[in-house]
Chain A
């Protein structure tokens, strides 16, 4: 299909790990991104991964890339209430950034 796909909602308890999944469209996409949007704000770039990598870790964030299945995931360790936000997956190819519909993460105390 033509869409970058994400599940719309995820709810976790504070302290647990969160895993947000994404399926992208183009196997030739060079970069894949995760953006975070807090209420009333624009999107903030969280992290990105180059297509020749399988994994990237940055403090509490781990990005896994499965090129064969065109599957990207974002794991947030020790999820905090401040992590509650909408998370967008995006792919970049040929000067074009294509976004998923966003996953709303709710963290319960």
Chain B
């Protein structure tokens, strides 16, 4: 049973539309992450948060924005979608004080296609 939920699973949207990808976790994890995954598999960190009202940009420059108003919720927004945003987006979380051996818990992903 998933403890981290991403919606929608699949989205096809026209260029210029504003979209929000949802990510919620029920584990009370402090740390949350958004990754963009290439069709060729590689993961790129685009945003992360270490707690409420804390957000940072990741290694890969992204035109998206995030917010962290509640611990359990970490939505990602694209103000104006473009075909170059077509990708798989993965959300992950980790309890801040947990031993690193627990790793990250990942959602099932949102596959976004911008036409």
Residues of chain A whose beta carbon lies under 8 Å from any beta carbon of chain B: 8, 30-31, 33, 35, 40-45, 48, 50, 86, 88, 90, 92, 97, 99, 101-102, 104
Contact B109 A41 (CB under 8 A): yes
In the bound assembly, the distance between CA atoms of A104 and B111 in angstroms comes to 19
* A45 & B103 in contact (Cβ 8 Å cutoff): yes
Instruction: Report whether B106 and A42 are in contact in the complex, using a CB–CB cutoff of 8 Å.
Output: yes
Q: Is the Cβ of A99 less than 8 Å from the Cβ of B43? A: yes
B41 near A97: Cβ-Cβ < 8 Å: no
* Pick from A8, A40, A50, A99: contact of B101, CB under 8 Å: A50
Contact of A102 among B41, B92, B103 (CB under 8 A): B41
Interface membership of chain B positions 13-47, coded 1 if the CB is closer than 8 angstroms to chain A and 0 otherwise: 00000000000000000000000000011110000
CB atoms of B106 and A43 under 8 A apart: yes
User: B residues touching A (Cβ–Cβ < 8 Å)?
Assistant: 4, 6, 40-43, 90, 92, 100-109, 111
Interchain CB contact (< 8 A) of A101 among B42, B102, B106, B107: B42
Interface of A: prevailing SS: strand
Cβ contact of B41, chosen from A31, A45, A48, A104, cutoff 8 A? A104
Enumerate chain A residues within 8 angstroms of B111, measured Cβ to Cβ.
40
- Chain A residue nearest to B59 in the complex (CB): A98
Q: Is the CB of B104 within 8 A of A45?
A: yes
User: In the complex the two chains form, is B101's CB within 8 Å of A42's CB?
Assistant: no
B42–A102 contact, CB under 8 A?
Answer: yes
Q: 4 more A-B contacts (CB under 8 A) besides A35-B103, A45-B102?
A: A30-B100, A40-B109, A90-B103, A97-B104
Contact across chains for B107 and A42 when beta carbons are under 8 A apart: yes
**How many angstroms between the C-alpha atoms of A31 and B90 in the bound complex?**
22
With A86-B41, A88-B43, A99-B43 already in contact, the answer to whether A40 and B108 are too (CB < 8 A) is yes
* Cα distance A33–B94 in the bound complex, in angstroms: 14
A33–B41 contact, CB under 8 A?
Answer: no
